[in-house]
Each structure stands twice: as structure tokens, then as C-alpha cells.
Amino acid sequence: MATLRWQGCFSQRAGGSVSGERWAWTFDRPRLLSRDVEVYNPDGERVAVLQVGWWGDGTLAMADGRVFYWRLQGFLQAHALFVDAAERPVVEFWDSSRWFENRTQVGTPAASLSERDRALLILLGRYLMVLKQRDTAVVVATTVCV
């Protein structure tokens, strides 16, 4: 089981863990209006940075030099995935949210990932899907209120 906990209602910071506390990370958008995400281990060391582009796709640079790419798919971007350097899907996400229910289905087609990397990418992807939904809600609310 995986858990993702937000540090506050309007916070950009969340803690995620898998298998109890076997693996744990903190995800944060550290700068105001930044779309980039930093990933920290429990010791406070930055282990990865996701640089997100204008359209939502991004590049995840791991501290050990490996790179994964975040890709949004489809008109409504309800399907997203991480791919490796060879553009092979490693973890996929499908937004299956309803009105007052935030849900994401996850698929892991690649057996080449370590269990720890798979856990990190699943938590980070879920974090990104929630942020995307929050960002969309802010845009809709701003548009309706103007």
C-alpha cells in the first residue's frame, strides 16, 4: 500500500510512503508559481528534480544521473505516464476521478524497474495528477469568478 499525505489544504508539499515506512519521500513545488517538483528522502537530501514544461510534460533527473520523462496524453490529459530514456513506458496513470472523488488508476508495464524506483514513480505520478486537478480547479474558479 502507498500513502500520500498533504501537509495542508493549500500546500504544495506532500509526504509519500510505500510499505509502511519502508520507502518514504517528500514532494514539493518549492517556489511560488513554479511547476517544477523536488523530491527529498527522509534525511532531507534532494534525490530528484522534475522540470515541468509549459504543456505539462517534464524531465525527471535522478541524483544518480538517470532520467525519466513525464508525458501527458490525450485531449483532456486524463492519461499520463513516465517513460525511460528509450521512451519505453515504465509507469502509467489514468485519471478516474468523479465529482467529489479523486482517483487514479496505475499500471506498471515495465519489469526493468527496481521496486524502490517503481514506488517512487508511482507516488510522484499520483502527486502530479493531484496537482494537475488542483491547477485545473483554480483556472476554472478564476474563469467563473471573472
More confident site: 57 or 145: 57
Domain at 119, CATH number: 2.40.160
Q: Could you give the CA distance from residue 85 to residue 66 in angstroms, rounded to a whole number?
A: 8
Q: Is the pLDDT of residue 143 over 60?
A: no
Q: Could you give the CA distance from residue 130 to residue 135 in angstroms, rounded to a whole number?
A: 9
Q: Is the pLDDT of residue 98 over 80?
A: no
Beta pairing partners, 58:
52, 70
Q: Which DSSP category does 101 fall into?
A: B
Q: How many domains does the chain have?
A: 1
Domain of residue 70 covers 2-145
Q: What global pTM score does this model have?
A: 0.82
